[in-house]
Amino acid sequence: MRKYHAKKLDKEALYPYQPWKITEQEFLIETNHHNEAIFTLGNGYMGLRGTFEEDYPGSEETTTPGFYINGVYASEEIIYGEEAPNSPKKGQTIVNLADWSEINLYINEEKLNLLKGQILDYKRELDMEQGILRREMIWEDRQGRKIEIKINRLISLSREHIGAIRYQFKAINFSGKISVNSAVNGDVSNHHHLRNKKALEVIESEINTNTGYLLHKVKTTGFKVAYVVEHLLDDYAKQNCEIKKRSSDNRIDWIFEISAVEGEEYTIDKIVGINHCKEEAENPLSAARASVARASITGFENLVEEQAEFMSGYWQDVDVKIEGAEALQQAFRFNAFHILQAAGKDGQTSVAAKGISGEHYEGHYFWDTESYILPFFAFQRPEVARNLLLYRYNTLDKAKKNAARMRLEGALYPWRTINGAEASGFFMGSTVQYHINADIAYAVNLYYQVSRDQEFMENYGLEILIETARMWLSLGSYIPMHDNKFCFNEVCGPDEYKPGVNNNAYTNYMAKFNLDIAIKMAEIIKDKSPEKYKRVAERIGLTDNEINRMREISEDIYLPYDERLEITPQDDSFLYKNPIEVDNIPDSDLPLVKNWHPLIIWRYQVIKQADVLLLMLQLGYQFDRDLKIRNYDYYEPKTTHDSSLSPAIYSILASEIGYKNQAYNYFMQTARLDLDDFNENVYQGVHTACMGGTWLALVQGFAGMRMFNNKLYFHPDLPDGWDEYQFRLRFKASQIEVTVKENKVKYMLISGDKVEFKHYDQLVVLEESNLSQELEI
Ligand code: BGC
């Protein structure tokens, strides 16, 4: 394994290994920034970074507070050094919205500030079993007054518009005035990307005794966001409290002044409803008000209970249990928790590269969703996978415009986007990655194979498949010097270190897959639902001639193979570049993307992330084991893994070809990337694709699960040092549980009537009369 990555595995754990929790045991301002991302709470609709309730006017080195709604963005003109014709004019950047979590506490006039006075006790824990963030501390102010504070925070997973904080405090050694200043702070800015960082204006606000609201507008895009707040005080706090209100241009403040009695605990619950809308004529206020009214009646304790119930259902489906590897047990739950929090579930949004946990990558969606995250949902929570694909369907028109921009037919999905239009100003890193079309088609098929959701395929899937396939017909051309094969020139595969190449193998094979699956689905639907087919075909102008043309071209696509090296060449030029091994590159030059000019990178046979190897996985049934080994041996030493999307794929392939050590080491790089902050950039937000990749590395890697042509296969293995691991998968209306132990595996039918799959070459059938089967590995 490459030295650069091996080094990272020695990194000390930042949090104790606990099966269900991530605990910060000590407050240190130096670790505050990455904790803000780790302790992010979200529900797919919105995300709140784990910034404290009390404000620390710190520097951007130590804190970047953030509250975001998935899909709510600001837009600015892209400034080009040299603009290529038909380049996207406007960018899209997720907006840092009002901070509604702000709560400051004062003992008399002294403000709670963990950087002053003394922290006598401190603990913050993310409880992944319950879906809640808790902080408990005892703080002594500079006059020696001690106060105990307990804060519980949640973003409701069952009510997507609700966030809530329970704030409790107890004076330990004094009686006197304690003021709790709760606010909606609309005076916020973006930390990154936007030139005009003040993206918002307040259009309305109101404050009453313990309720109030603020209404924001995103200046450049017109999104309106309403934050409605209601405070609930326990009886004891109510009786001893005077409430003051303050409002200014862009914030509203409630000050609860309590005559605190030594030893008594006081509780203030802050229930917040957040809604947004895009249309000028709409107003999100009444919806937010209604959500808050309902949640306030429900009460904080019941919201907590609801949350735990939601999580318990989620864990039933997605929990991976690992015996004998506590660091990994924790990592799996952490990753699954964040994937849930990051994923849009409304068909209008998707999963941003950093989830809803930071502004980096501008809140953009990439191919990460379909290639790394969608399988996680398709096999465990198919309804989420369906919605992620519906997002692509709902943005198909914009993808068609994007194709037209490139003088192509059909649809070309954008490389980076929020609203469906291409948002990248750097075409050599974005539009050139045409493979995203095939990745989306692959995901449509994957979801369909797992779910057999015929309705989805007929109403949405087929159209995506046809429009993406059309793009390939117009992108490629017959090239005489390639024996008149159909070639794709000036493309970039997943390896972003080789843009603008001809015949990237991943792209060519996946384009063929895209065409073949479009043809196959068209045939199936034509046969099963001729009326439906007719309607779709008429609407999108699909003819039998076009299907025939797709078939012809698919057969003619150039599928590269190098006879001399007996490997799959990454593209036409890769093998002719200057050979280099990553071990010969000084550590200080890595990641290359930050240290070498692109022209230098392009000269070498150096790879950013799995490319040919990803092909060996996605279309693995088309290649034999020996070729996979030769490809692995050739490309692995040349791969820097400068993208966190890479190690998981190497781990899976290493498992398949029996390189057990490498499989394990690559798996370790992916599983705890964020928790151990391998890349020292988790403060920017979590790496959602890498989190999805971790799950793939276990299920497809160690358990050797594959699904090709509607059939499921397992080739399970137990990594050294583990006692056992277990996961559940859905497949065609059934759910199965797979438990891998030393030398044996148990398959169990959890729900559904009957399921069939292969364990190595053996056919396994689970049904009512035979619910489970234990087999040798
Ligand atoms: C990777 C891309 C990925 C993007 C967002 C880049 O560094 O090379 O493959 O889509 O990050 O995660």
Instruction: Inform me whether the pLDDT recorded for 84 exceeds 90.
Output: yes
The confidence score (pLDDT) of residue 155 equals: 98
pLDDT digits (tens, 9 = 90+) for 172-186: 999 999 999 999 999
Average pLDDT rounded to a whole number, residues 722-732: 97
Residue recorded with tokens 């930390």: 191
CATH of the domain at 165: 2.70.98.40
Cα(165) to ligand 1 centroid in Å equals: 35
Please give the radius of gyration of the chain, using alpha carbons only, rounded to the nearest integer: 27
Same domain membership, residue 459 and residue 359: no
Three-state SS for 334? Answer: helix
Residue 28 lies in a domain: no
CA-to-CA distance for 219 and 189, rounded, in angstroms? 12
pLDDT digits (tens, 9 = 90+) for 617-638: 999 999 999 999 999 999 999 9
Contact 739 CB / ligand 1 (< 6 Å): no
pLDDT digits (tens, 9 = 90+) for 647-657: 999 999 999 99
Considering all CA atoms of the chain, what is the largest pairwise distance in Å, rounded to the nearest integer? 89
Average pLDDT rounded to a whole number, residues 393-414: 98
Q: Tokens at residue 463, please?
A: 């159209």
Which residues partner with 162 through β-bridges? 273
DSSP per residue, 402-435: HHHHTT-SS----SSBSSSS---S-GGGTTT-TH
What is the amino acid identity at position 175? S
The confidence score (pLDDT) of residue 662 equals: 96
The DSSP letter of residue 425 is S
Run of H or E residues at 708: strand 706-708
Residue 125 lies in a domain: yes
Contact 370 CB / ligand 1 (< 6 Å): no
Pocket residue to mutate for ligand 1, from 361, 366, 682, most atoms within 8 A of Cβ: 366
Cα(499) to ligand 1 centroid in Å equals: 13
pTM attached to this predicted model: 0.97
Q: Which residue's CA is the nearest one to ligand 1's atom 12?
A: 353
Three-state SS for 365? Answer: strand
- CB 157: neighbour CB atoms within 10 A? 23
Cα(643) to ligand 1 centroid in Å equals: 6
Residue 175 lies in a domain: yes
Last residue within a domain, chosen from 591, 610, 640: 640
How many structural domains compose the chain? Answer: 3
Instruction: Inform me whether the pLDDT recorded for 701 exceeds 80.
Output: yes
Same domain membership, residue 167 and residue 264: yes
What is the amino acid identity at position 220? T
Give the nearest ligand 1 atom to 608 CA: 8
Q: Which residue's CA is the nearest one to ligand 1's atom 1?
A: 643
Average pLDDT rounded to a whole number, residues 28-54: 96
Last residue within a domain, chosen from 286, 301, 316: 316
Three-state SS for 775? Answer: strand
Cα(375) to ligand 1 centroid in Å equals: 18
187 is in an annotated binding site: no
Residue 736 lies in a domain: yes
CA-to-CA distance for 287 and 274, rounded, in angstroms? 8
* Least confident segment among 48-62, 372-386, 419-433: 48-62
Last residue within a domain, chosen from 301, 316, 331: 316
Residue 371 lies in a domain: no
Same domain membership, residue 521 and residue 387: yes
CATH of the domain at 630: 1.50.10.10
Q: Tokens at residue 66, please?
A: 């953030």
CA-to-CA distance for 199 and 206, rounded, in angstroms? 21
Same domain membership, residue 667 and residue 617: no
- Which of 496, 546, 636, 656 is catalytic? The answer is 496
Q: How far is CA 507 from CA 14, 174, 443, 537, 748, in A?
A: 39, 70, 15, 27, 38
Contact 640 CB / ligand 1 (< 6 Å): no
Q: How far is CA 240 from CA 110, 173, 257, 357, 672, in A?
A: 20, 18, 8, 38, 48
Contact 689 CB / ligand 1 (< 6 Å): yes
Domain extent, residue 419, equals 381-640
Q: Which residue's CA is the nearest one to ligand 1's atom 7?
A: 643
The confidence score (pLDDT) of residue 2 equals: 59
Residue 172 lies in a domain: yes
Give the nearest ligand 1 atom to 415 CA: 10
- CB 297: neighbour CB atoms within 10 A? 9
Contact 314 CB / ligand 1 (< 6 Å): no
Contact 366 CB / ligand 1 (< 6 Å): yes
The confidence score (pLDDT) of residue 742 equals: 95
Contact 464 CB / ligand 1 (< 6 Å): no
Instruction: Inform me whether the pLDDT recorded for 7 exceeds 60.
Output: no
Three-state SS for 348? Answer: coil
Count, residues in the chain: 777
Q: Can you say whether the dihedral through the CA atoms of 61, 62, 67, 70 is positive or negative?
A: positive
pLDDT digits (tens, 9 = 90+) for 183-234: 999 999 999 999 999 999 999 999 999 999 999 999 999 999 999 999 999 9
Same domain membership, residue 262 and residue 132: yes
Same domain membership, residue 170 and residue 232: yes
Same domain membership, residue 453 and residue 409: yes
Cα(353) to ligand 1 centroid in Å equals: 8
Give the percent of the chain with pLDDT over 90.
96
Instruction: Inform me whether the pLDDT recorded for 728 exceeds 90.
Output: yes
Same domain membership, residue 236 and residue 281: yes
Contact 643 CB / ligand 1 (< 6 Å): yes
Residue 27 lies in a domain: no
CB 186 within 8 A of CB 250: yes
139 is in an annotated binding site: no
Instruction: Inform me whether the pLDDT recorded for 475 exceeds 90.
Output: yes
Helix-, strand-, coil-residue percentages of the chain, each rounded to 5: 35, 25, 35
Q: Is 496 a catalytic residue?
A: yes
Which residues partner with 179 through β-bridges? 106, 257
CA-to-CA distance for 101 and 167, rounded, in angstroms? 11
CA-to-CA distance for 691 and 60, rounded, in angstroms? 26
Q: How far is CA 115 from CA 58, 119, 172, 179, 443, in A?
A: 11, 9, 20, 19, 49
Contact 607 CB / ligand 1 (< 6 Å): no
Same domain membership, residue 546 and residue 406: yes
pLDDT digits (tens, 9 = 90+) for 505-554: 999 999 999 999 999 999 999 999 999 999 999 999 999 999 999 999 99
The confidence score (pLDDT) of residue 761 equals: 96
Instruction: Inform me whether the pLDDT recorded for 404 exceeds 60.
Output: yes
Pocket residue to mutate for ligand 1, from 350, 433, 496, 593, most atoms within 8 A of Cβ: 496
Average pLDDT rounded to a whole number, residues 754-771: 97
The confidence score (pLDDT) of residue 511 equals: 99
Sorting pLDDT into bands at 50, 70 and 90, what band is 280? confident
CATH of the domain at 724: 2.60.420.10
CA-to-CA distance for 384 and 47, rounded, in angstroms? 18
pLDDT digits (tens, 9 = 90+) for 242-278: 999 999 999 999 999 999 999 999 999 999 999 999 9
Same domain membership, residue 3 and residue 69: no
CA-to-CA distance for 123 and 37, rounded, in angstroms? 17
Give the nearest ligand 1 atom to 643 CA: 7
Which residues partner with 135 through β-bridges? 124, 151
Alpha-carbon dihedral angle through residues 607, 604, 509, 690, given to the nearest 10 degrees: 10
Residue 292 lies in a domain: yes
What mean pLDDT is reported for the chain?
A: 96
Cα(669) to ligand 1 centroid in Å equals: 16
Same domain membership, residue 478 and residue 416: yes
Same domain membership, residue 635 and residue 720: no
Per-residue 3-state assignment (H helix, E strand, C coil) for 47-83:
EECCCCCCCCCCCCCCCCCCEEECCCEECCECCCCCC
In this predicted model, which residue has the larger pLDDT, 3 or 413? 413
Give the nearest ligand 1 atom to 433 CA: 9
Three-state SS for 179? Answer: strand
Nearest to 151 by CA among 105, 116, 185, 210: 105
Give the percent of the chain with pLDDT over 70.
99
Sorting pLDDT into bands at 50, 70 and 90, what band is 58? confident
The confidence score (pLDDT) of residue 6 equals: 57
Give the nearest ligand 1 atom to 496 CA: 8
The confidence score (pLDDT) of residue 379 equals: 98
The confidence score (pLDDT) of residue 544 equals: 98
Q: How far is CA 91 from CA 115, 194, 217, 595, in A?
A: 39, 9, 18, 26
Average pLDDT rounded to a whole number, residues 743-763: 97
Give the nearest ligand 1 atom to 688 CA: 12
DSSP per residue, 306-358: HHHHHHHHHHHHHPPEEES-HHHHHHHHHHHHHHHHH---SSS---BTTTTS-
